[in-house]
Amino acid sequence: MIPFVQVVFLLFLGSSERQWNHVHAFQSSSCHIRGTRVSSSSPSILGTTTSLRVATNPETSIDPTGKRTTPKEVVSMFDDFAESFEEKLVDVLDYKAPQNVSMRALERIKEDRNGKLYKSAIDAGCGTGLIGPLLRPHVKGPMVGVDLSPKMAELAAELVVDDAYTANADKVKNRMRRCGEVARTAQNIDRLYDGVFTGDLLQLHDASKIKFIDGLGHSVTSFPTKPVELIVCTDVLCYFGDMSEILAKFSDRLQIGGDLIFTTETLAQGDYNWVMTVSERYAHDADYVRRMAANAGLAKVSQTPFTPRWESGEKVLGILHTFTKTDDVIASTMSPNDLMDKPPL
């Protein structure tokens, strides 16, 4: 007989994944539907009824049904999900995109920046701040986070690092935890983000629309108006189908020579530039991303296949992109064959 605790654990795993699948990608061949527009109430996916939709890119296509997930939908989805987000992603789905992005920043520092740390950074769509402690050592100056969901951003704002003692060990360096302003100021605990804000990534050019989360002792209280040296964006662009506008906004916020490191989910088929999958997340063709970036003055450094997380026992396919801001637009003249630099991880 299966012990009671095991049953509870299995039920927890099942329901966590079901819930996440509703919010998040459920990668399967049925997600990528080509050639036809499908719009119907559709099969139930792991217990949730999801509308089966395919949105195709205006550049190539016929019938665009939506260029991004609306801000209202994002806020409602992630405000509800905030408290359980880390547990579900990290513990259940083995989410590793923040590690991959921060390691890429470190590689850039070592290989291409002569060991120079980034002077300033924006974590675009910071969520609960999972990348914060990983990226902090690579950014010398101000590092700010911004997210549309106030509940997600508040969790990022509460993050601090300190040197902790545990019962059986000596001091543990750089433990990350959450605490309020009183504890932070009383213990003089080191910052993680220098400022955390709520707002829409498409409005980053207008600092008045990006609101500071007050009351947690951060030193950067208004969103930086000067361009920064690094923008990271981890598992966020799956809420944007059309890449031209968002990449132009990022480019606008970057210094010449600054880096943009981000992830997307992979659209394996080549017929569309992007599609909305059954999970209501967008997947992108990597060459389309490269062309939109080039139009925005961002030159490709690398586009590498990687695994952001697992779902239903299968690897989710993703691409880790690194672009750098140039002072001239690299026209879309590079060969599409330069797409994959490295073999899959």
Task: Provide the binding-site residues for ligand SAM, judged by CB under 6 A.
Answer: 71, 74, 78, 97-98, 125-127, 130-131, 147-149, 152, 200-201, 234-236, 239
- By the 8 A CB rule, do 127 and 156 touch? yes
Q: How far is the CB of 237 from ligand SAM (least distance, A)?
A: 9
| Identity of the residue, 131 or 157, whose beta carbon is nearer to ligand SAM in the bound complex | 131
Closer to ligand SAM by Cβ: residue 153 or 287: 153
Least separation in angstroms between CB 68 and ligand SAM? 7
Beta carbons of 259 and 229 less than 8 angstroms apart: yes
User: 122-145 b/e with 16+ CB inside 10 Å = b?
Assistant: bbbbbbbbbbbbbbbebbeebbbb
Shortest Å distance, C-beta 330 to ligand SAM: 26
Give the integer Cα–Cα distance in Å for 157 and 180: 9
* Beta bridge mates, 299: 324
Query: Beta strand 172-178 with 159-164: parallel, antiparallel or unpaired?
Result: antiparallel
Residue nearest to ligand SAM (CB): 127
Structure tokens, 311: 């779902």
Q: Are the C-beta atoms of 122 and 228 separated by less than 8 Å? A: yes
**Amino acid letter, 319:** I
* Closest CB 27 distance from ligand SAM, rounded Å: 14
Nearer to ligand SAM, 130 or 160 (CB): 130
Helix axes 286-295, 244-252, angle to 10 degrees: 50
Nearer CB in complex with ligand SAM: 71/217: 71
Distances (CA, A) of 252 to 27, 100, 136, 202, 292: 32, 24, 23, 11, 14
Measured from the CB atom, is 239 or 272 closer to ligand SAM? Answer: 239
Q: What is the closest distance, in whole angstroms, from the C-beta atom of residue 34 to ligand SAM in the complex? A: 26
In the complex, what is the shortest distance from the CB of residue 317 to ligand SAM, in angstroms, rounded to a whole number? 16
- Cβ proximity to ligand SAM, 17 vs 235, nearer residue: 235
Nearest 5°: the CA angle 295, 99, 122 is 50
